[in-house]
């Protein structure tokens, strides 16, 4: 007498053995458990039973499917955001250095999860997606002020400093209100709200770190981009231009003034316009 299978189950035409389990700790990191299965258990089974295949179902399968869909949707959103930035600034390099703030803010997402001992999850990903819009908005606010000062006649170094001073308070207030508003969710003990904690961590720590980088290092990127424009034109023409002459905002303003000047050699006065 020996124990035998009660039934033979099949999945997609092949025999299957389905192993189901639940974690003792509902807050335990499932990815770590799956990594242990992948590295320690499955290699032994594959060596013992030739031709065995295994797939993950349940939460892992749904997570992988959701991750694949999120990657596709985020890629489309990323392309649209980049195109809007190019149209807004009328400059591809400007759009690129604004986009560079996104991976910097993602460092805050990783550090925040490490500090709270939370594993990365799908909610963490959605929080990072929302974080993208907040960080790009702060960078646009800074850069738009810089462009406005260049149009007004400020030099590039002075415009960078003044943009930092003028936009310091709005950027910090926006970031502080976002982070402080998320604090109750970060430290909640409610079981019903635990699935939202990773998203709150992504937003809070990503905004905090991204804001610091925008205020301290974004001006450096602006100056480096300006240096690259100056020396590229110098190598191309043999004449070293001023810093302001290579800025797209300055060039666009000069074109606008030339257009206004050349649109008509004579502009009638108000009285002449009324008579006509």
Looking at residue 26, its pLDDT comes to: 66
Q: Which helix or strand (DSSP H or E) is residue 108 part of?
A: helix 101-116
The structure tokens listed for 223 are 């100056």
Residue 89 reports pLDDT greater than 80: yes
Higher pLDDT, 63 or 269: 63
Token pair for 227: 């240096």
CB neighbourhood size of 178 (10 A): 17
Q: Give domain status of residue 164, yes or no.
A: yes
Q: Would you say 228 and 66 are in contact if contact means Cβ atoms under 8 Å apart?
A: no
pTM of the full predicted structure? 0.70
Most confident among 52-56, 66-70, 221-225 (mean pLDDT): 221-225
Domain assignment of residue 252, yes or no:
no
Task: Tell me the mean pLDDT in the region 22-49.
Answer: 80
Do residues 223 and 156 make contact, with C-beta atoms less than 8 angstroms apart?
Answer: yes
Report residue 274's pLDDT band, with 50, 70 and 90 as the boundaries.
Answer: very low
Does residue 257 sit within a domain? no
Specify if 118 maps to a domain: yes
Return the residue matching tokens 């019903």.
192
| CATH number of the domain within which 119 lies | 1.20.1640.10
> Among residues 181, 183, 184, 175, which one has the least CA distance to residue 208?
175
Which whole-number Å values give the CA distances from 173 to 68, 133, 187, 208, in the listed order?
Answer: 35, 16, 22, 11
Q: Where are the beta strands (DSSP E) in the chain?
A: 9-11, 14-16
Q: Quick check: is 22 in a domain?
A: no
Q: Which two tokens stand for residue 244?
A: 């302001």
CA dihedral 124, 128, 202, 207 (to 10 degrees): 180
With tokens 């810089």, the residue in question is 146
Instruction: Report whether pLDDT(137) > 80.
Output: yes
In a domain, 137, yes or no: yes
Tens digit of each residue's pLDDT (9 = 90 or more) over 197-212 = 888 898 889 898 888 8
Mean pLDDT value across residues 166-179: 87
Total structural domains in the chain? 1
Whether residue 7 lies inside any domain: the answer is: no
Domain that holds residue 74: 66-232
């Amino acid at each position: 007498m020996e124990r035998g299978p009660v039934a033979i189950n099949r999945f997609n035409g092949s025999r299957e053995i389905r192993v189901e389990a639940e974690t003792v700790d509902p807050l335990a990191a499932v990815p770590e458990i799956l990594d242990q299965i992948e590295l320690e258990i499955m290699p032994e089974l594959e060596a013992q039973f030739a031709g065995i295949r295994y797939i993950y179902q349940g939460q892992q399968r749904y997570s992988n499917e959701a991750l694949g869909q999120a990657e596709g949707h985020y890629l489309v959103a990323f392309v649209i955001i980049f195109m809007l930035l190019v149209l807004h600034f009328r400059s591809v390099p400007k759009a690129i250095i604004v986009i560079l703030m996104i991976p910097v803010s993602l460092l805050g997402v990783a550090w925040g999860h490490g500090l709270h001992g939370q594993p990365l999850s799908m909610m963490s990903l959605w929080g990072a997606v929302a974080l993208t819009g907040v960080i790009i908005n702060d960078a646009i606010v800074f850069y738009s002020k810089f462009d406005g000062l260049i149009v007004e006649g400020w030099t590039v170094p002075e415009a960078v400093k003044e943009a930092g001073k003028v936009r310091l308070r709005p950027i910090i207030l926006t970031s502080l209100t976002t982070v402080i508003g998320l604090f109750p969710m970060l430290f909640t003990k409610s079981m019903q709200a635990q699935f939202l904690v990773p998203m709150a961590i992504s937003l809070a720590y990503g905004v905090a770190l991204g804001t610091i980088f925008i205020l301290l290092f974004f001006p450096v990127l602006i100056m480096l981009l300006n240096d690259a424009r100056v020396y590229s034109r110098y190598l191309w023409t043999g004449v070293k231009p001023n810093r302001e002459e290579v800025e797209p905002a300055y060039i666009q303003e000069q074109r606008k003034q030339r257009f206004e000047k050349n649109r008509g050699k004579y502009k009638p006065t108000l009285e002449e316009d009324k008579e006509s």
